[in-house]
Every structure is written in C-alpha cells, then in structure tokens.
Structure 1
C-alpha cells in the first residue's frame, strides 16, 4: 500500500480530529475544543489552525488498468492550533475570527471532497500509476494551498468584512458544487 502524507499549516484555526469518510459536513470549530496549543508570541496573527491531509491507497490491476481503493482524510491538530486570548477579548472579535477560521476548515473540507472525486475517478496506467497519483495529489494540494493563502490575503485574515462575505459565498458555492459532483459519481 502506498502512503503519502502532505502536511498543511494554515494561519487561524484547527485540532487533531479526522473528518469522517462519509464526507457529510466539515467539522464545526469552537475555541474550547480545537485551540489547545501554546500561542506563538512572535506571530503577527491572533490564531493558527494546524490541519493535515492524508491519503493512502491499495491498488489492484484489472484488464490492464489500475484500480485504487483510496483512504482520504483531514485532521485538525489541537495541540498545534492556538489562539491569542489576550488579543481577542471582545465577543464580536472572537466570533468574527472563529468564523474566518471556519472558512479555512471549509476550504480543507472541499479539498477532501475534490481529492476523493479526482483520485478515485481516473484511469491510471500500470506502468506509472504511482507517479500519476502522486502528481494529481500534489496538484490538488497546491491548488488548495493557494486557495487558503488567497483567502487569508483577500480577507486580511478575516478583518476585511466585505471580502470575508465574498469568500463566504465562494466557499459555500464550491462546497455545494463538490458535494454535487461527488454524489453524481456515486449514482
């Protein structure tokens, strides 16, 4: 069985809880459960969410094709995720920051859905399927890493409420699209 682990750290959000394989909904954050780590006093940010995407697969050959049985999950590392409580005393600020961090979790959830859809539904060649799968996984990871960075930059880490609202719509639309595409493949 081939295993590849791609660690992803995002500023502002999560703990070591795996998303369930059913892909029903993203984990819903709360401060008490998911932010157990010690805050980095040198960081300019108010919180950090540490998330990891892991996938592995078993492969079988069938009629000159490789079929994979994919295991795909996201986890939140509670012990590496932190918040600067002294910087977010106001309840509205706390709520806004948690909402922004939930956006990171939702983007990671979309990655999970898209990785499942893309990696499972390709024709792989017998000669180089390991390379093909690895390349696809890296492309998926790079795409969502860029999306996470753009989310932070454009929303100014959640402080630009107008852009946060725009991103909320983008994320929800992409989540709905990914769920629908995955459901269609399961028919």
Structure 2
C-alpha cells in the first residue's frame, strides 16, 4: 500500500482531527469552538489559521496488463494546530467574516478531495510505472490546489476585501459544482 501525506496550512485567516472522506457529500462546516483549539501564533500577522492535511493511499491490482486501484482519500482538519486570535476579533461581524473566509479554505480542500478522487481513480496507468504516475498526478493536484489556496488568501487580502471575497465565494461554488458534475459524468461512463 502506498501512502502520501501532504501537510497543508492555511494562513489567516495527528492527535484529534476532523476528517471528511470521499463518501461525504459536503465539506465540514467550521465553527470556532470545535475546530480552533490550538494556541495562537502571536508572531503571525494573521487572525486565524486552519491547519489541514490531504492524505491518500491506495491498494493496486494488476490483471491482464491493466492496473486498478482502490483509493482511500481524505482531508483532515487538525483542531489542535488550528487557532484564532480572540483578542483581535472586536465584534460578531468580524468573527463571522473571518470564519466565512476560513470556511472558504475548507471548501477549496473539499474540491481537492473530490477532484483527487475523480482523477486518480479514472486514469489508465502503465503496469510498469503506475506508482510513479500516481505519485506525479497526486503532486500535480496538490500543487494546483495549494496555488489556489494562496491566490484565495492574496486576492481576498485574507478575507478583508469583501468584494473580492464575494467573487471568490462564487469561484469556489462554481468549482464545487464543476467537480460534482464531472464526478457524475465519470460515474455514468
């Protein structure tokens, strides 16, 4: 069994974690009390951090020059490494806006989960080097979504630019719908 653990920390905004797997149809909905138990990094310029990892593993079988894989694919939200600076949140609206921004990070990771599930399962792999192909494909997926996460933070100014945050909310919703539609199309093949 091949395993890869890709750590992912979302700025701004394993002991006990919350995971959502390929059988979950919606991303975890964050709340401050449940998901942000870590000690805040007082040297960080950000008000919150959501710590997440993407982990996948697979079992493979080769039959008649064809590789099939059984994929286990999950995202974890590490509540003990996720934190919020309570002293920086002055009112309920700031708290709601910040949590909304952090939820966007989780939603992006959920799209990664869905896309990884779809893409990794639906490829034809070479019998001679499928392990390398799967690893390279997983790294490409991870890189794409890491870039998306960074762009989300930079463009929204970590959630403080409400106009751009609304635009990103729509982008994330559209990507989630595209991912669901692609998964349904692949399931119909």
On whether the aligned pair clears a TM of 0.5, the verdict is yes
Q: Does 1:47 align with 2:48?
A: yes
Q: Does 1:5 align with 2:14?
A: no
Matches within 5 A, 1:166-177: 166-177=167-178
Distance 2:67 2:45 in 1: 47
Q: Does 1:61 align with 2:62?
A: yes
Question: What TM-score, normalized to structure 1?
Answer: 0.97
Distance 1:135 1:128 in 2: 11
CA contact (8 A) 1:8 1:52 kept: yes
Distance 2:124 2:41 in 1: 45
CA contact (8 A) 1:158 1:164 kept: yes
CA contact (8 A) 1:33 1:78 kept: yes
Q: What SS does the corresponding residue of 2:93 show, helix, strand or coil?
A: helix
CA contact (8 A) 1:35 1:81 kept: yes
Q: What SS does the corresponding residue of 1:19 show, helix, strand or coil?
A: strand
Q: Does 1:26 align with 2:23?
A: no
Which residue pairs with 2:123 in the alignment? 122
CA contact (8 A) 2:22 2:117 kept: no
Per-residue displacement from partner, 1:14-39 (whole Å, max 9, x unpaired)? x8200033130000011000000000
Distance 2:153 2:48 in 1: 12
Q: Structure 1: any 5+ residue segments left out of the alignment?
A: none
Matches within 5 A, 1:32-181: 32-181=33-182
| The 10-residue stretch of structure 1 (32-41 or 176-185) with the greater mean CA deviation from structure 2 | 176-185
CA contact (8 A) 2:52 2:76 kept: yes
Q: Does 1:17 align with 2:22?
A: no
- Structure 1 residue 12, shift from structure 2 partner: 3.3
Q: Structure 2: any 5+ residue segments left out of the alignment?
A: none
Q: State the number of aligned residues.
A: 186
Q: Which runs of 4+ in 1 moved over 2 A?
A: none
Question: What TM-score, normalized to structure 2?
Answer: 0.96
